[in-house]
Amino acid sequence: MQKTFFLGLMFLLFSCDDGDIEIETIDFDSVDIETCETGSIDTGLFFKINDDEALILELEDGKLLNEASAEQIESTIGSGSTLTYRLFSGTVSKTYFCDDVPVIDPQAISEIVASNGTVLINTIEIDSTTFEHSIELTDVTFETDTNNRITDLTINDFGTFTSIKSE
């Protein structure tokens, strides 16, 4: 009986979770898009912060234009644009992404780069110098280092960025 109890106890101890961080959902729907630069189509870094996690979009060069788009502009995640999910050791703020001197805390404790997906951009002209760019993400797949799929994500409204045409 003692051997059975000992074996059962050992099984429980060695079969426990090893502490790996498991991400079940990625939800940034209620969070506004942010960027470090204001109004420039040269902006390539967009991010959404939700307390201790961030969704970071590095947009392919030349996809934002100061002109209305007749159709959606596309960029492929993985070969043109990059989408990254990061989990931090504490609450993260805009300064983490925008300060010239990198901040020490909070630290990124997990980072997962999307393996594929599509960025869709619709641009409308507000007036002769102001343009509004609506960004969507479709068919996004995040996979861990061990090739476990985390999610197949579509964000119909990643955010809206307003650019101003310099004269």
Q: Structural domain boundaries of the chain?
A: 32-164
What span, in angstroms and rounded, lies between the C-alpha atoms of 58 and 83?
6
What span, in angstroms and rounded, lies between the C-alpha atoms of 129 and 54?
31
* pLDDT value of residue 143: 80
Kindly give the pairing relationship between strand 108-127 and strand 130-143: antiparallel
C-alpha dihedral (162, 72, 57, 34), degrees to nearest 10: 20
* pLDDT value of residue 23: 52
* pLDDT value of residue 20: 46
What span, in angstroms and rounded, lies between the C-alpha atoms of 125 and 71?
13
Compute mean pLDDT per 10 residues along the chain, 167 residues long, and list them.
Answer: 44 42 66 91 94 95 94 94 95 92 88 92 96 94 75 80 88
Query: Chain-centre distance of CA 164, in angstroms?
Result: 25
Q: Distance of CA 131 to CAs 23, 41, 106, 134, Å?
A: 36, 10, 34, 10
* pLDDT value of residue 106: 93
> Is residue 80 classed as helix, strand or coil in its secondary structure?
coil
